Amino acid sequence: MIERDGEGVLTAASAEVLAAARDLADSLGGSVGAVAVGDPGDLPDDLVKRGVSTLHLLRHELLADSEAATVGEALAQLVAAERPVAVLAAAGDASTEAMAGAAARLGVPLATACTAIRPGIRPGQPWEVTRERAGGILLEDAELDAPIRFCTLGTGTRTPTETAAAADVTVRAFVPELDATVPRARLIERRARASGMTLATAPVVVSGGRGVGSAEGYAVLEELAGLVGGAVGCSRVATNNGWRPHADQVGLTGTRVSPDLYIACGISGATQHWVGCMNARSILAVNTDPEAPMVSRATWAVIGDVHEVLPAVVEELRRRSGG
């Protein structure tokens, strides 16, 4: 199952999924089919370069919002009709929910956040999968035994590549049977993301937690981020307290970041948050607790009050830059 961005272009995560599907198809002597929702757009021209032979389009008025539970219901019907060897999708929130719904309807397991998939040597043998657990801190080797294997793949597990196009992609529309009387989630409003630098692209992230103390306390973090060309993030406690919007949250239930420098201000560094920032090249922790997990894991640490340390850092940066 593949996804497209707001402009109808195949997402990078879905391109990785197609590359993994092609590897599996080559090892099993099969072909690759793709599943998408809505009109084909320019997908066939793109998919033909990625080794896809058939594009299945889920078409129904109730799929207009691509709501995950409804997509999962439609996907289950398509899979029941086509009986593929495996169904792969990116390990995003919406795609994982849709895959979970489809797998549950078909009575088969779902292996989530896979980093590797190894088919059995002989037909009928269980497949071996390696999965991320605990937000990526642990890797689990497991067996997947089912008539149809459902897997989601984490990003960065496969490099998207193109292949020589042997033939055009066959496009097939599939209209599922969906009950309009069943309560369903509906898209009410769509808001465009802020343009410019984001948490995911910023080279420096200045993030605050419980130690910042209030929404007003983030003013100095905003100032520091502006001086170093970065973005402001936060821990879950900040969003829970209403100090920052969820879009700023770094962590397992927020955004995973990989900046050159992550500045953790007043953040204890619980596992949920560490998962979101552990891929940073360097981490500077500012905390009053020398035993805090973030301090012990950081590249550098300053033991002190955020409200004393950061203003001093800002003042020195301004002095060095001539004000």
Give the mean pLDDT of 222-250. 95
Chain centroid, CA 29 distance in Å? 30
Average pLDDT on 175-182 reads 92
Q: 6 pLDDT exceeds 90?
A: no
**Predicted confidence band of residue 19 (pLDDT cuts 50, 70, 90):** very high
Percentage of the chain exceeding pLDDT 70: 95
Query: With 70 as the cut, is the pLDDT of residue 191 above it?
Result: no
pLDDT at 294 over 70: yes
| pLDDT above 80: residue 123 | no
pLDDT score for 37? 95
CB atoms near residue 248 (< 10 Å): 21
Between 157 and 147, where is the model more confident? 147
At what angle are helices 219-228 and 306-320 packed, to 10 degrees?
30
SS (H, E, C) 137-183: CEEEEEEECCCCEEEEECCCCCCCCCCCCCCCCEEEEECCCCCCCCC
**Range of lowest pLDDT (17-26, 81-90, 115-124):** 115-124
Write out the two tokens for 226: 């502006």
Q: Is residue 196 predicted with pLDDT exceeding 90?
A: no
DSSP state of 260: S
39-53, 76-90, 136-150, 174-188: which has the highest mean pLDDT?
Answer: 76-90
Average pLDDT of the chain? 91
pLDDT for res 139? 86
Q: Is the pTM of this model over 0.95?
A: no
C-beta atoms surrounding 48 within 10 Å: 19
* The pLDDT of residue 18: 95
Return the H-helix or E-strand segment holding 87.
strand 86-90
- Supply the pLDDT for residue 175: 96
- The predicted model gives 2-16 an average pLDDT of 88
Averaged pLDDT, 262-272: 94
Mean pLDDT of 222-242: 95
Residue 190 corresponds to which tokens in the numbers above?
Answer: 């769509």
- Closest by CA position to 237, among listed 216, 258, 254, 261: 254
What per-residue confidence (pLDDT) applies to 166?
59
pLDDT at 195: 58
Q: How much of the chain exceeds pLDDT 90, in percent?
A: 72
Residue 197 pLDDT class (50, 70, 90 cuts): confident
User: pLDDT of 275-287, one tens digit each?
Assistant: 899 989 999 999 9
